[in-house]
A and B are shown apart, each in its own frame.
Chain A
């Protein structure tokens, strides 16, 4: 599932000697599987290599089908030793997804680092663990403004939106490449040449447009780093009337099969001394009804009543 590759190339030719710096340039590219992290890092590595640098690239990939976290370290310079970037040493942090960018922030050098992030949010399932009514997402609450105040140079843009306006949202990574191109010292035509050699022939036009649009955006927003008029606030949880789940157990019908106890995601049921299901922690219950669905004996009833409405089971 997880694989690490190291591409190592020797210094090639004397043509690009002038762009080769003493200290390696460190670019960290992060995102979610499927967004094109590897494509971005390949473009950058090829470009740097063509300019006469020694390049080392190291990545974790293979998560694309799962939407997992993907990162890629690209280091280039006169002489590169380690294929990975030390903590706090990245010159550029390029994030294709907002929270992934925040997660890798400690790797960015505070004195000279450039932070580039797409404000697109891909909310992972883990951020939705709280199933209670009206529960907030477990996603980062920091706004682009908060983050840009913490870094020296930062760009937060809706690259996916820009790519969508060009007709292909999958070109978002190329938009970000355009922004990245302003932070690195390579010529625009070299960038375009490498990008065109990497993307599928049918998408050359849209990628070209996306790159130029990203570059143009970065030049236009060089001072602030973000679109002032765009709303980056997180969607608030849907306004629902909070319900208080209540679990009723028909003791005479329970046959102690243990399914509800073992299947409850919140572990709020148990078997009592007579091996009959019992509510152990009613405050943890989210009212997901799994116990009700899976009880083969119909002994469990889950009611989601308006909060404050405490009902007692009425018995004849």
Chain B
């Protein structure tokens, strides 16, 4: 039985209340116990709440996969589109409605494998939107196949003897392709993730945030990585904030991934460039309409 509380009648203390942003009739959500995507969704909604974004001016686009389903729980304009194409859809949406805040929630398989082409070109165009790449190293919803970010030697249903492929560093790819804001954070550091997402959404241009998330039921179980608490605590041993990394030569522990804002560019935003060209053409042809 779902004993739902009316968010209007809940006692408050002025802190962020996620129930204001959820479609309560769909809760509890479908994700597995301990799935990091829920924590990432909280961080995103918290960031949007602190930025004071109007729900009617917010469009959240998501693809297929566990990450794709997270958008459905947001009480805003949400779009659930074909596999790998949320960025293509969002590009059209932003061009048609530049007044909207467009956020794309995508996964590692969705963005880096099936939609890799769209990912590269979205970074290149530098259109003002935010991509949240929930990286759990696996295709969870479709049955646990290997993804471009699966760590070497890890077991999945399609790599029963261990993954033999090298991994993609999504942040490096985005940076090389021309994204003007690239960041990474783990779900363990929820307030930091919220702050990073706030900066990413506020950034004028294409911003990409990779969220290190956990797949506990499929990836964790198959690789014997422990239960949900062990998996989320393991993120800590792999983390080093960017600022800290640059000041200490000798790390206390090996450094599998860097967190924080990893890159900021100052290229012109796509719509700004587009409007400038329209004006130039109109001026050349002699006066406006």
Contacts and interface: CB of A to CB of B under 8 A. Distances in A.
A257 B33 contact: yes
A182 B13 CA distance: 59
A244 to B, nearest CB: 10
A250 interface: yes
A294 B188 contact: yes
B190 A293 contact: yes
Contacts of A315: 3, 5
Contacts of B9: 314, 316
A303 B11 CA distance: 8
B15 A294 contact: no
Contacts of A65: 248
Interface in A275-316: 289, 293-299, 301-305, 311-316
A171 to B, nearest CB: 23
Contacts of B162: none
B147 interface: no
B105 to A, nearest CB: 15
Interface size band for A: 20 to 34
A256 interface: yes
Contact of B38 (A258, A297, A316): A297
A255 B28 contact: yes
Contacts of A139: none
Contacts of A255: 28, 32-34
A298 B13 contact: no
23 contacts: A65-B248, A252-B2, A252-B28, A255-B28, A255-B33, A255-B34, A257-B216, A258-B34, A259-B228, A262-B229, A293-B39, A294-B188, A294-B190, A296-B34, A296-B36, A296-B228, A297-B31, A297-B33, A298-B18, A298-B19, A301-B17, A304-B13, A313-B10
Interface of B: 1-6, 9-13, 15, 17-19, 22, 27-29, 31-39, 42, 187-188, 190-191, 216, 227-229, 232-233, 248
Given A295-B42, A298-B18, A305-B13, 18 more contacts: A252-B2, A252-B4, A253-B28, A256-B33, A257-B227, A258-B229, A293-B39, A293-B191, A294-B39, A296-B38, A296-B228, A297-B33, A303-B12, A303-B13, A311-B11, A313-B5, A316-B5, A316-B6
A-B residue pairs, 7 tightest by C-beta: A296-B38, A262-B229, A257-B34, A255-B33, A293-B190, A257-B33, A311-B11
